[in-house]
């Protein structure tokens, strides 16, 4: 299972007192590995300013830059499951819909 966290080094203007996108990726990776041990979950950080992005990643990055989404933006299988201040509960609900089992 691959989860993508889109963001940038600079905090978004409305996210001043929240964790950075990179911190969100690290926190999410640690939290999910505890909730879903022995299940492969990779949480990738994607810099929206990376000029080498292609395809869907590039499209999502452009939408963030055009203020269609706030970052950090959490995407699972092409579906946005959190933005700005993503909630662990919402992300876990989506993972369980996809077949992951807590504590398995």
Q: What is the mean pLDDT of the chain?
A: 91
- What would the pLDDT profile of 22-68 be if each residue is shown by its tens digit? 999 999 999 999 999 989 999 999 999 999 999 999 999 999 999 99
Q: Measure the CA–CA gap between 4 and 78, rounded to whole angstroms.
A: 9
* Domain coverage including residue 56: 2-97
Does residue 102 lie within any of the structural domains? no
Does residue 104 lie within any of the structural domains? no
Does residue 29 lie within any of the structural domains? yes
Record the pTM. 0.91
Could you tell me which of 23, 26, 30 has the C-alpha nearest to residue 9? Answer: 23
Does residue 45 lie within any of the structural domains? yes
Does residue 28 lie within any of the structural domains? yes
Count of domains observed in the chain: 1
Does residue 103 lie within any of the structural domains? no
Radius of gyration of the chain (CA): 13
Could you tell me which of 69, 50, 33 has the C-alpha nearest to residue 3? Answer: 33
52: domain CATH number is: 3.40.30.30
Does residue 80 lie within any of the structural domains? yes
């Amino acid at each position: 299972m691959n989860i993508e966290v889109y963001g940038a080094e600079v905090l978004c203007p409305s996210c001043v007192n929240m964790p950075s996108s990179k911190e969100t990726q690290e926190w999410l990776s640690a939290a999910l590995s505890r909730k879903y041990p022995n299940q492969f979950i990779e949480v990738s950080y994607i810099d929206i300013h990376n000029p080498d992005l292609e395809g869907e990643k590039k499209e999502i990055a452009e939408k963030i830059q055009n203020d269609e989404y706030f970052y950090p933006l959490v995407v699972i299988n092409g579906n946005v499951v959190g933005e700005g201040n993503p909630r662990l509960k919402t992300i876990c609900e989506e993972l369980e819909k996809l077949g992951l089992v807590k504590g398995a």
